[in-house]
Structure 1
């Protein structure tokens, strides 16, 4: 090999090593960032769910499964719910508890990789397989979790958006869709949800909960950049339970 060839080879080696180092630093930064500032579940609402005799809880590294204990429950309908970015999955247990205790649904709350649904490539079946007795599945999510739910929606029987909107076009899917929004949401604002409405099927139902903010859809405290809610979280949860419960119950 000539001297020029050796120099060229050394240069390529240094460039390759430098790029690998940059990628490693970027990956490390994402991992660290994903674990810092995670919104944790509030203790009191979570304790109430854990103490509720109408709800059976099971969890592992994949998901949290909330199932009804009532003997008269059909338990053949369920919801796979994907949390928002950097929000503890347990923060949604209280919000979704009425769907289990009152409506007899099975709710599977996923545990996204790196606390970010965007980085979680697992198919819907990863979560529906955790409740094999359920025959009819809706998929949904809050905020970024809802965006991820849109990409999984064609593998489900319906889609439920919680203060979220689609980034992918499912307008021609024919899927039943329910979009729950908050009038005081400072992140998934009413304008953003309206701007993305054309990506949903024409028959989609949009319900705006007056007085609800972005963080009203979970029990994890105030969120940076959000609006100020004027409706109590208990009342927001009651509206979510009523709307989502009726919607999922109506699925064929």
Structure 2
């Protein structure tokens, strides 16, 4: 082999080693994200979940990989696509959203985000609304990180509901009916953060702050690190959510 060919051969070997190293780092990074997304998932508490499953006014099914709650009787014309917070099991929201179904006759579709994180879920709103084709009007909403994702899907919906959350994209000129429900004791999506992001929403957006509610009060998955201490009980929290959303539905 001539001396002139050795540098090129060596360069190819170095290039191959670098490419394999980069590919290995990417694979390791992706694997790390997958493993991390499955660790520390907050499961639904058995008591509240059992109360929904035994409520003869609410029908719960697993449809299209989503938790779907529909009224046992009557026609449902308004629906809510709800996106869970990061690493929170979809079923953990059934009880707090059950009043919308039992009392107001709504259909509620709770998604199961990819990798338990709404940030990684690129599916459009239609993937969730298609499970209930009889519903005429759709709200989209979510808790915490799920609310951030709901804001991104909101232009395809008839209204937006934020549960202990706020938008990262600007919807101020969207004309959408918007409801922001927050907790006075929320240690994560604090009242200050909710107010600071108010400019991202339409001027006529409604803001409801629930006294005694923490970040975890919007679901039933136990306490959450960094959160405040809730003083509201589950029944009152469910009633507050139900009444507030009913007011938004009246605006559709």
TM-score by length of 2: 0.97
Aligned residue for 1:8?
A: 11
Which of 51, 56, 65 pairs up with 1:48?
51
- Kept after mapping to 2: 8 A contact 1:62/1:127: no
Tell me how far apart the structure 1 counterparts of residues 13 and 205 of structure 2 sit (CA, whole Å): 59
Alpha-carbon displacement from aligned partner over 1:194-237 (angstroms, at most 9, x marks no partner): 11110001110010001100000001110011011121222111
Instruction: Mark the runs of 5 or more structure 1 residues left unpaired by the alignment.
Output: none
State the SS of the aligned residue for 1:138. Answer: strand
Alpha-carbon displacement from aligned partner over 1:57-95 (angstroms, at most 9, x marks no partner): 11045211100012xx33110000000000000000000
State the SS of the aligned residue for 1:107. Answer: strand
State the SS of the aligned residue for 1:14. Answer: helix
Aligned residue for 2:136?
A: 135
- Kept after mapping to 1: 8 A contact 2:58/2:70: yes
1:61/1:223 Cα in 2 relative to 1: closer, same or farther (>3 Å)? farther
Tell me how far apart the structure 2 counterparts of residues 114 and 245 of structure 1 sit (CA, whole Å): 31
Tell me how far apart the structure 2 counterparts of residues 103 and 199 of structure 1 sit (CA, whole Å): 29
State the SS of the aligned residue for 2:94. Answer: helix
Alpha-carbon displacement from aligned partner over 1:128-185 (angstroms, at most 9, x marks no partner): 0000000100000000000000000000000000000000011110100000000100
Aligned residue for 2:190?
A: 189
Tell me how far apart the structure 1 counterparts of residues 239 and 186 of structure 2 sit (CA, whole Å): 18
Q: Would you say how many aligned residue pairs link Structure 1 and Structure 2?
A: 249
TM-score by length of 1: 0.97
Tell me how far apart the structure 2 counterparts of residues 249 and 174 of structure 1 sit (CA, whole Å): 16
Aligned residue for 1:85?
A: 86
Tell me how far apart the structure 2 counterparts of residues 212 and 193 of structure 1 sit (CA, whole Å): 14
Alpha-carbon displacement from aligned partner over 1:90-127 (angstroms, at most 9, x marks no partner): 00000000000000000000010000000000000000
- Kept after mapping to 2: 8 A contact 1:82/1:146: yes
Which of these two proteins has the greater Rg computed from alpha carbons?
A: 2
Tell me how far apart the structure 2 counterparts of residues 20 and 248 of structure 1 sit (CA, whole Å): 50
The farther-off stretch of 88-97 and 224-233 is: 224-233
Tell me how far apart the structure 2 counterparts of residues 79 and 173 of structure 1 sit (CA, whole Å): 19
State the SS of the aligned residue for 2:180. Answer: strand
Tell me how far apart the structure 1 counterparts of residues 41 and 240 of structure 2 sit (CA, whole Å): 26
Tell me how far apart the structure 2 counterparts of residues 23 and 60 of structure 1 sit (CA, whole Å): 34
Q: Give 1:210-225 correspondences, 5 Å limit.
A: 210-225=211-226
Moved over 4 A (4+): none
Instruction: Mark the runs of 5 or more structure 2 residues left unpaired by the alignment.
Output: none
